[in-house]
A and B are shown apart, each in its own frame.
Chain A
């Protein structure tokens, strides 16, 4: 079930994800194409199908999307390679973020830091809207499920804008509607 890639393999895996970590501006998912190149094309540790399903499982499970990196690690060689991919992926970015946070904190009142915060807001909002759009596309792409998916999206928007219900209830509703074959 879990192939042995050896200590050198584990070290290589760790190093590669360590390198990608600092390039992951906008989230770990933006480095996924290079992970695919390394794991599938170069090392042949995973198939293309395994790679895509790893991302799909992480999307469906609760928790941050970055956990697809743990699933990739698991599919390469079990628990030890999870440690290699996750530590490699998170260590550099975490240390850098902490350092940057403290640096910014000391200059909180400065015009530069205030302009950086304010100026990045419109871009962030645009990225969020784009993410919503990209996530919605496959749901409304198929004619057979379009009405149900659109209804679910509309109900979600209405409930979220009008109430402070936990989003979890809506996810439950989505699962039920989907399981009945309506979305």
Chain B
């Protein structure tokens, strides 16, 4: 999906998007590759292929997108693109992310009724769902490496990530409380270490 010159080393120097048009194209292409969630593709495209963000920058933007209301990936696109071309960049990225995928999903909705019961289709959807789960887990594992450079320190960072998993996946606590409560404690720790 990306031209070869973008595919370089993870330690390669960072570059900047050239125009709002390039932002539109980049976010459109990553949205169209994102089955069952766009985040894993966003990480590969923005960090590993295009080198617009380092892993650290990506995970920090993602963390902020998480606390802001609205879809995380849309917030991340807005945050990144507003910093480059202001409102024009922000809306170009958002349009890239949403317009074409929305047309596709509505077309699929119109077709769904006829194909939902075909075993081939339901089988393919099951296989895609398994891969989507693997993609999210691998994204998380890659981003765990950024804890090395986090002011909280790696052991504490890992501990709070693990506690979050227990609270959300096992105990099924409401998201808002985990984000607000756990987040407040972590931010307080980071604040103490930074001072």
Contacts and interface: CB of A to CB of B under 8 A. Distances in A.
A70 B102 contact: yes
A132 B130 CA distance: 10
Contact of A63 (B31, B142, B147): B31
Interface residues of A, number: 97
A149 B132 CA distance: 11
A139 interface: yes
A59 B129 contact: yes
A67 B182 CA distance: 29
- Chain B CB count within 10 A is highest, among A86, A125, A154, for A125
Interface of B: 1, 7, 31-41, 44, 48-49, 59-60, 62-75, 78-79, 82-83, 87, 90, 94, 97-98, 100-102, 104-106, 108-109, 112, 116, 119-121, 123-144, 146-147, 150-152, 156-165, 167-169, 175-176, 178-179, 182-183, 186-191, 194-195
A7 to B, nearest CB: 22
Contact of B78 (A22, A92, A94, A128): A94
Contacts of B44: 164, 166-167
A176 B79 CA distance: 36
- Chain A CB count within 10 A is highest, among B75, B98, B128, for B128
Contacts of B187: 115-116, 118-120
A119 B141 contact: no
Interface of A: 21-28, 30, 53-54, 56-67, 70-71, 74-75, 82, 86, 90, 92-94, 96-98, 100-102, 104-105, 111-112, 114-136, 138-140, 145, 148-149, 152-157, 160-161, 164, 166-168, 170-171, 173-183
8 contacts: A26-B175, A56-B125, A62-B33, A129-B140, A153-B131, A167-B135, A171-B36, A171-B132
B139 A128 contact: yes
Contacts of B59: 121, 124-125
